[in-house]
Structure 1
Amino acid sequence: MKIEDIEGIGPVYAKKMIAAGVKTVEGLLKVGATPKGRKELAEKTEISGAL
């Protein structure tokens, strides 16, 4: 399943996540499984970890 298929992830966030290497829901789950992964993704994408 593509990252864009998640409700609430529009084209702007999808583009940032894809640029950070997260292209699928499975990839997001893998990266987001640890606090370190979530922090790194937030820094790479400039998307707040609070979202």
Structure 2
Amino acid sequence: MAPSCLGYGPYTFALTRTEELFTPERTARRQAEADLTWLRSTWNALPAESC
């Protein structure tokens, strides 16, 4: 039976795959947040330069 015969519309595939579309963005955001956390901790640990 075709999906339309089961009561599913033509957009079912797109809706069920939506989560997978955002996975790369979530991964990139988590990495960016981890990088920013590291940068802040490193920046604060640097000795202050005297002028």
- Quickly name the TM-score band, shorter chain normalised: under 0.3
Structure having the higher helix fraction is: 2
TM-score (norm 2): 0.25
Structure of higher CA gyration radius: 2
- Report which structure shows greater RCO (CA 8 Å, sep ≥6): 1
> Which TM-score applies when normalising by structure 1?
0.25
